[in-house]
Amino acid sequence: MRFDLTDLKLFCDVLDAGSITAGAGKSALALAAASTRIRGMEEALGAPLLVRSRQGVTPTPAGRTLLKHARTILAQSARLKEDLGAFAGGLSGEVRLLANTNALTEFLPEALSSFLASHPQVSVDLEERLSDEIVGLVAEGAADVGIVAGTV
């Protein structure tokens, strides 16, 4: 079973619009192409996705499941495009930084401000955590840098 993003968007558009004709229009596809894509999805899955009637279409149980996942995949695709767009604008890196409360309030504001002013192409994702947690998260690769209390 292989569905591309165009298939998934079409499927969502068809159900949002209530008909294959209107969904094809929303997806900027010819009706014949949209029908062929939907049939191909159903054949690949081996189950009907839509209940077709004179009043339009409604999802089958398989169609409801596909709709839920399609919306998630399309949202993630949009997020990916947004995140990668930052690199097209000159961003060259991201640092994941974990810091305890003391470092976050006392030491980091000035140092981080200076660093970001000197390195505008770098994005810093800063998160406050307890020192004990930070050590484990950095060791697991969940962060690039951790600032902890000297006693940890």
Q: What is the 3-state secondary structure (H, E, C) of the chain?
A: CCCCHHHHHHHHHHHHHCCHHHHHHHCCCCHHHHHHHHHHHHHHHCCCCEEEECCEEEECHHHHHHHHHHHHHHHHHHHHHHHHHHHHCCCCEEEEEEECHHHHHHHHHHHHHHHHHHCCCEEEEEEECCHHHHHHHHHHCCCCEEECCCCC
When divided into structural domains, the chain yields a total of: 2
Same structural domain for residues 14 and 30?
yes
Q: Is residue 152 part of a domain?
A: no
pLDDT tens digit at each of 152 positions of the chain:
788 999 999 999 999 999 999 999 999 999 999 999 999 999 999 999 999 999 999 999 999 999 999 999 999 999 898 878 766 766 678 889 999 998 888 889 999 999 888 888 888 899 999 988 999 999 998 899 999 887 75
CATH number of domain containing 40: 1.10.10.10
Same structural domain for residues 10 and 76?
yes
Same structural domain for residues 9 and 35?
yes
For residue 60, the enclosing domain spans 5-86
For residues 89 and 69, what is the distance between their CA atoms, to the nearest angstrom? 31
Q: Among residues 86, 111, 130, which one ends one of the domains?
A: 86
pLDDT at 96: 92
Same structural domain for residues 67 and 100?
no
pLDDT at 70: 96
CATH number of domain containing 133: 3.40.190.10
Strand 145-147, strand 122-128: pairing:
unpaired
- Rg over alpha carbons for the chain, rounded to the nearest Å, is 24
Contacts of residue 101, defined as CB under 8 A and 6 or more positions apart, other chains included, come to: 128
Same structural domain for residues 58 and 35?
yes
Same structural domain for residues 103 and 47?
no
Same structural domain for residues 99 and 122?
yes
Residue 79 in contact with residue 86, Cβ under 8 Å?
Answer: no
Same structural domain for residues 65 and 130?
no
pLDDT at 14: 97
pLDDT at 32: 96
- Tokens for 54, please give them: 């004179």
pTM of the model: 0.61
pLDDT at 76: 95
- Tokens for 92, please give them: 């060259």
Same structural domain for residues 82 and 94?
no
